[in-house]
Structure 1
Amino acid sequence: MRGRGGAAAKGGQDGQAGEAGGSGQGSGAGRLRRFRGPQNRNLWFWAFVGPFAIGLALFTYVPLAWSVYLSFFDAHNTVSPTDFVGLDNYVSMLGDHAFLSSLGTFLLFTAFIVPTTYVVSLALALMVNRLRFAQAFFRSVFFLPTACSYVVAALIWKLSIFNGVRFGLANTVLGWFGADQTAWLSTSDPPWYWLVIVTVRLWLQAGFYMILFLAGLQRISPRLYEAAAVDGARPGWQTLRHITLPQLRATSVAVVLLLVINAFQAFDEFYNLLSDARGYPPYARPPLVYLYYTALGQEQNLGLGSAGAVILALIIAVATVVQARWFGLGRKED
């Protein structure tokens, strides 16, 4: 009896151990199935998104975090500083007249480029949307400059259109009418360089915002225009003002936000248009050009440049939030 009882107890313990092992294996398999998702959808998701997420972390978030770290150190000619200076770099940047002047250059550039691009891209969208034939062709033609490099476009504007005093398409056309030749990029009184900078940026980005407006226009129901015509609304400005623009409100807010953010990030056209063998002139320096020379110039003050970059990022964030609140972005329509 004792032997049978011992054997039974041992068998019961082995059975419990087997059940526990089986439940452990089952829970592990269940977690694995949940991780994979139905039909391994989670694995496919990470297979496609994983490389992009890794690249985004390595080439965007890690450099951003390291830039913030450098802004609190005296980092001359090094990316691994040891001399902690606290907020001294930020105080120096906010008290630097050249940096404040670069912010003024940005404000002036924004005052030129934002309304101009908005009006031109909206006008192009309205014209393309009214076409009854070859709409895809004209949409592609106007969008094509978006694929052009900013550097290439700036060099074309500088070397072919607004080149020197005696050369270039612009001076050739002026010569036909007997007008004086103009040094477009080397004179600051009057500041003709603004015409060159604004036109090259306008040519490069108007097509992209035209596509956004086109998408908004195609979402407007034709019944609204039919009802307006029945009520006596005349086509043209009256219809545009009371129907089209209110229906494009969300698109307009997004376009303005993107235009302001892109204006903050202006660098390629300024640098490639105005710089030469002697360097960059003292006028028309946007924030990124100034920070470029601060961090990678003769002194290579990476700490000071990083502090300026953080300040610029904070200004962009605050300006974006203020604009979004002002325009009511995300607010439910009445």
Structure 2
Amino acid sequence: MRRRISDNTLWFWVFVGPFAVGLALFTYVPLLWSVYLSFFDAHNTVSPTDFVGFDNYTAMLRDGAFTSSLGTFAVFSLFIVPATYALALALALMVNRTRRFQAFFRSVFFLPAACSYVVAALIWKLSIFNGVRFGLANTVLGWFGADQTAWLSTTHPPWYWLVIVTVRLWLQAGFYMILFLAGLQRISPRLYEAAAVDGARPGWQVFRHITFPQLRTTSVAVVLLLVINAFQAFDEFYNLLSDARGYPPYARPPLVYLYYTALGQGQNLGMGSAGAVILALIVAVVTVFQARWFGLGRKEAD
């Protein structure tokens, strides 16, 4: 018996060990080193000696560009979180009601999630929302006699938000659709049978009183993941808006700002690390607040 337990432990570490070592080396060690750098004056070096305490944190919080990047995140979240939630739920409801080819539609809607953010951003930038008459969006507008629009450089009105939000929506809606599908398939058919016996009309009434409340846990998880992913937005912003002249001063999310702070011309790794720690703390606080607000993990009353 003891030998069997020992063998199981050995094989556990044989399979899990390489992943654990990789996780420690490429995730936890860099995170801890970033926290360490945030307390030092680290210009062009990852092994600084000049301890500055919380000066980097104070400078970041007083930096208007950093606080503006947080505002960009807030605007992006207001657009992308409810839009993705609504679209993913609608797709899940339609696919779940499909009697034939359900696997086909599930695969088709999920397929964009496997696409690279960089590739999708370049397709949106060069083919769909190109600022010249050859772009698909301007071609369609030309059919109705509308003028061409420079989608990514027009700030009044800010058309660039349409490009950024639609590419992210296309990329991630299918993934969250799968989460909602899993939640829908966990709902007991007896609930719908009881509702039919009680005279509930199919459609909005059943969805409002049965389907949507039963998706509460899934909805909380989806909203949490959407907010965290919005904080981590980088690829689509950088590849859509940057060019040979650099990145424009508008629509600069936190990770793009920190990228230029730590790896740009100044190479200020201390300031960049402090901003990363602040951003991580904000994500943690927002996540905990949302979990408490939605009652995640709270035992339901009998």
TM-score range, shorter chain: over 0.9
Give the partner amino acid of 2:143: W
Contact 1:121 1:206 in 2 (8 A): yes
The question of 1:132 aligning with 2:91 is answered no
What are the equivalent positions in structure 2 for 1:205-216 lying under 5 Å apart?
205-216=172-183
Instruction: Tell me how far 1:259 sits from its aligned partner.
Output: 0.2
Within-5 A mapping of 1:68-83? 68-83=35-50
Q: Which residue of 1 aligns with 2:220?
A: 253
Q: 2:18 aligns with which of 40, 51, 55?
A: 51
Structure 1 vs Structure 2: percent identity of aligned residues?
A: 87
SS in 1 for 2:205: helix
1:220 aligns with 2:220: no
TM-score by length of 2: 0.98
SS at match of 1:48: helix
Question: How far 1:271 sits from its partner (Å)?
Answer: 0.2
Q: How far does the alpha carbon of each residue in 1:157-203 deviate from its partner, in whole angstroms, 9 at most, with x for none?
A: 00000012322110011111111111100111110000000000000
**Distance (Å, rounded) in 1 between the aligned partners of 2:114 and 2:8:** 34
| TM-score (ref. length: structure 1) | 0.89
Match of 1:236 in 2: 203
| Alignment correspondent of 2:290 | 323
Cα deviation for residue 44 of structure 1 reads 1.1
In the comparison of the two structures, how many residue pairs are matched? 301
Output the CA distance in 2 between the equivalents of 1:303 and 1:328.
37
TM-superposed deviation, 1:332: 1.8
- 1:92 — aligned with what? 59
**Equivalent position of 2:136 in the other structure:** 169
RMSD of equivalent CA atoms: 1.0
- Return 222-231 or 212-221, whichever deviates more: 222-231
Q: CA deviation at 1:219?
A: 0.3
Q: Secondary structure at the match of 2:67?
A: helix
1:64 matched to which residue of 2?
Answer: 31
Which one has a bigger Cα radius of gyration? Answer: 1
Q: Flag structure 1 segments of 5+ consecutive residues without an equivalent.
A: 1-32
SS, match of residue 250 in structure 1: helix
Distance of 1:237 and 1:286 partners within structure 2:
38
* Pairing partner for 1:148 from 112, 115, 118: 115
Q: CA deviation at 1:37?
A: 4.8
> 1:197 matched to which residue of 2?
164
Cα displacement string for residues 69-125 of structure 1 (whole angstroms, at most 9, x for unaligned residues): 000000000000000000000000000000000000000000000000000000000
Matched, 1:309 2:247: no
Q: 1:58 to 1:37 in 2, by over 3 A?
A: farther
Residue aligning to 1:270: 237
In the aligned structure 1, how far is the partner of 2:285 from the partner of 2:121?
Answer: 30
Counterparts of 2:63 and 2:255, CA distance in 1:
15
Which contiguous aligned blocks of 4+ residues in structure 1 show a shift greater than 6 angstroms? none
CA–CA distance in structure 2, aligned partners of residues 295 and 56 of structure 1: 23
Partner of 1:29: none
Task: Give the 3-state SS of the residue equivalent to 1:204 in structure 2.
Answer: helix
Q: Give the aligned partner of residue 119 of structure 1.
A: 86
Q: Deviations over 1:4-31 (max 9, x none)?
A: xxxxxxxxxxxxxxxxxxxxxxxxxxxx
In the alignment, the residues of structure 2 paired with residue 318 and residue 292 of structure 1 have an alpha-carbon distance, to the nearest angstrom, of 23
> Quick one: distance in 2 between partners of 1:311 and 1:209?
28
Asked whether 1:332 is paired with 2:288, we answer no
Counterparts of 1:275-314 in structure 2, within 5 Å, are 275-314=242-281
The letter for the 2-side match of 1:290 is: Y
Q: Deviations over 1:184-226 (max 9, x none)?
A: 0011111000000000000000000000000000000111111
CA contact (8 A) 1:220 1:247 kept: yes
> Do structure 1's residue 104 and structure 2's residue 71 form an aligned pair?
yes
Amino acid at match of 1:329: L
